[in-house]
């Protein structure tokens, strides 16, 4: 059995979710996975991006991150999806990517993989759980195997969100506890996918 292929597919306007995605990639690599870290395409008009200095800066800083395609999910044994909260829901940019996946879904090529999600909001009751649950709805439709972090590691009692790693961006960039939680979540996803892969015919 080869290593687990993990796709980390995310949207981030101002860098918070990008930082979580990078921590998840570290955790997954430590667990032995092949990782594809991919941003989804920006769909906001250039005037909107340029009107916010942090947004324009983040677009520039992540110019070298490859843009996600359906092939990244087709390749993957497991996927972690990340999005900022938008009114308690998934960002339109990540949703637009998800909505390109009809043909893969129809062929059953999204089923049987391990899925998990992470997010950020600006305030502590700003909709992190509803955003993660919205992504779970997608995973149900795909026939995915949802692997949340729960309280399965001591770090989860500090980070505090059993649905998925999350960060309150209004309190500053993600700190050590949140980054550890992101690494842990990715390790758990990889370990679960490895166990499934080992039990499946090649
Ligand atoms: C249109 C829009 C809607 C938002 N809705 C919420 C919200 O419902 N709750 C909240 O706490 N933050 C909300 N935010 C703030 C973002 O979630 C926050 O800026 C984001 O998590 C930062 O992540 P990023 O740095 O990866 O872009 C919203 C931001 C925008 C632009």
Q: What is the tens place of the pLDDT at every residue in 57-94?
A: 999 999 999 999 999 999 999 999 999 999 999 999 99
Q: How confident is the model at residue 1 (pLDDT cuts 50, 70, 90)?
A: confident
Number of domains in the chain: 1
pLDDT of amino acid 152: 98
pLDDT over 70, % of the chain: 100
Summarize the confidence of residues 152-164 as an average pLDDT: 97
Distances (CA, A) of 6 to 54, 113, 148: 29, 10, 15
Is 0.95 surpassed by the pTM of this model? yes
pLDDT of amino acid 48: 96
- Decide: 12 in ligand 1 pocket, CB within 6 A: yes
> Cα of 131 to ligand 1 centre, how many Å?
11
For residue 201, with 0-12 CB atoms within 10 Å meaning exposed, 13-18 middle and 19 or more buried, which class applies? Answer: exposed
pLDDT of amino acid 149: 98
- Decide: 122 in ligand 1 pocket, CB within 6 A: yes
**Which tokens go with 23?**
């921590």
Q: Give the CATH number, domain containing residue 14.
A: 3.40.50.360
Choice from 121, 125, 131, 167 to test ligand 1 binding pocket (greatest atom count within 8 A of CB): 121
Contacts of 85 (CB under 8 A, 6+ apart): 119, 120, 121, 122, 126, 127, 128, 130, 131
Summarize the confidence of residues 98-113 as an average pLDDT: 98
Boundaries of domain holding 146: 5-198
Check whether 200 has a pLDDT greater than 90: no
pLDDT of amino acid 202: 75
Q: What is the tens place of the pLDDT at every residue in 15-41?
A: 999 999 999 999 999 999 999 999 999
């Amino acid at each position: 059995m080869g290593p687990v292929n993990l796709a980390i597919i995310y949207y981030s306007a101002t860098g918070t979710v990008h930082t979580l995605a990078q921590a998840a990639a570290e955790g997954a690599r430590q667990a032995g996975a092949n990782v594809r870290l991919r941003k989804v395409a920006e769909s906001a008009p250039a005037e909107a991006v340029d009107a916010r200095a942090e947004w324009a800066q983040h677009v520039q800083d992540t110019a070298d991150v490859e843009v996600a395609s359906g092939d990244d999910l087709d390749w993957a044994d497991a996927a972690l999806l990340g999005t900022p909260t938008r009114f308690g829901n998934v960002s339109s940019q990540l949703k637009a990517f998800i909505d390109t996946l009809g043909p893969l879904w129809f062929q059953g090529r999204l089923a049987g993989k391990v899925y998990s999600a992470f997010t950020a909001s600006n305030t502590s009751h700003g909709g992190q759980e509803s955003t993660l649950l919205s992504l779970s709805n997608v995973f149900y439709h795909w026939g995915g195997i949802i692997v949340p972090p729960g309280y399965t590691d001591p770090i989860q009692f500090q980070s505090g969100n059993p649905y998925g790693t999350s960060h309150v961006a209004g309190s500053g960039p993600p700190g050590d506890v949140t980054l550890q939680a992101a690494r842990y979540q990715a390790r758990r996803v990889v370990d679960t996918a490895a166990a499934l892969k080992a039990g499946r015919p090649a």
